[in-house]
Amino acid sequence: MRNHLNTPRTAPPLAAPTLADPVGALAACEAMALRNQVAGVHLGMGLMGLVGWSVAVPTLLGAALGLWLDQLFPGARLWTLTLLVVGLGLGCMNAWNWISREDMAMRDGQDGGGDDE
């Protein structure tokens, strides 16, 4: 009677490599490189412009609203300065939120790049 603990285990035979294996690996590498292309200068400039406008627009709107309130209610209150700072803060928070979402989207794209098989 044979003891199953003493019997050697053999691995299943490996298939012989074919020409399709390196070609498939090269195609997968090329597809990943196309998905993860480095952003060009134009994309970076566009991103800087978009972030700049997302800060500038609320700042200018706050200043304009402050000027209007200062003319409507003359007195010791400085609505222009107050709303300019509030608009700047909101614009910075908006830009921070947008950049963090884009960063997470890029990281998710890099992490999931090799799991297509």
Nearest residue to 51 via CA among 102, 110, 115: 102
Residue 25 half-sphere exposure toward CB, CA atoms < 13 A: 5
Residue 73 lies in a domain: yes
Higher pLDDT, 16 or 51: 51
Mean pLDDT across 1-8: 58
CA of residue 13 relative to chain centroid, distance: 44
Q: How many domains does the chain have?
A: 1
Give me the mean pLDDT over the 79-101 stretch: 91
**Distance separating alpha carbons of residues 30 and 26, to the nearest angstrom:** 6
Q: Which domain holds residue 73?
A: 41-111
Q: Is residue 63 part of a domain?
A: yes
pLDDT in tens, 35-85: 666 556 666 677 778 888 889 999 999 999 999 999 998 877 789 999 999
Residue 28 lies in a domain: no
Nearest to 57 by CA among 96, 93, 88, 97: 88
